[in-house]
Amino acid sequence: MSKDNRTGRRDILKAGALLGAAAPLALSPLGARAAEDAPATVIPTPSVTTLPVVGSDARFPVRRIYCVGRNYLEHIREMGNDERLPPFFFAKHRDMIVQNGETVIYPTLTHDYQHEIELVVAMKSGGENIPVEEALSHVYGYAVGLDMTRRDLQIASRSIERPWEIGKSFEQSAPCAAITPVEQSGHLSNGHIYLSVNGEMRQDADLDLLIWNVPEIISQLSKEVGIGAGDLIYTGTPAGVAAVVAGDVMIGGIEGLTELTITVGPRPDRA
The residue ranges that bind Mn ion (CB under 5 A) are: 116, 147, 237
Strand partners, 233: 66, 121
Give the single-character DSSP code of 207.
G
Q: Which C-beta is closer to Mn ion: that of 169 or that of 222?
A: 169
What is the phi/psi pair of residue 108, to 5°?
A: -75, 160
Min dist. Cβ of residue 78 to Mn ion (A): 13
Nearer to Mn ion, 53 or 254 (CB): 254
Closest to 24 (Cα-Cα) out of 37, 43, 7, 11: 37
Which residue, among 227, 96, 207, 196, has the nearest Cα to 142 in the 3D structure?
Answer: 207
Residue 207 CB, nearest approach to Mn ion (Å): 14
Q: Which is nearer to Mn ion, 139 or 233 (CB)?
A: 233
Q: Which residues pair with 114 in a beta bridge?
A: 149, 243
In the bound state with Mn ion, the residue whose beta carbon lies nearer, of 53 and 164, is 164
Output the smallest distance, CB 61 to Mn ion, in A: 23
How far, in Å, CA of 235 to CA of 216, rounded? 11
Please give the Cα distance from 45 to 134 (Å, whole number). 35
Contact yes or no for 76/57 (Cβ under 8 A): no
**Cα angle: 8, vertex 12, 17; to 5 degrees:** 150
When the beta carbons of 35 and 156 are compared against Mn ion, the nearer one is 156
State in angstroms the smallest separation of the CB of 173 from Mn ion: 10
Task: Output the residue with the shortest Cβ distance to Mn ion.
Answer: 147
CA of 102: how far to CAs of 47, 91, 176, 265, in Å?
A: 19, 22, 10, 10
Torsions phi, psi for 200 (to 5 deg): -100, 125
**Residue 116 or 231: which CB sits closer to Mn ion?**
116
Q: How far is the CB of 26 from Mn ion (least distance, A)?
A: 42
Smallest gap from Cβ 148 to Mn ion, in A, equals 9
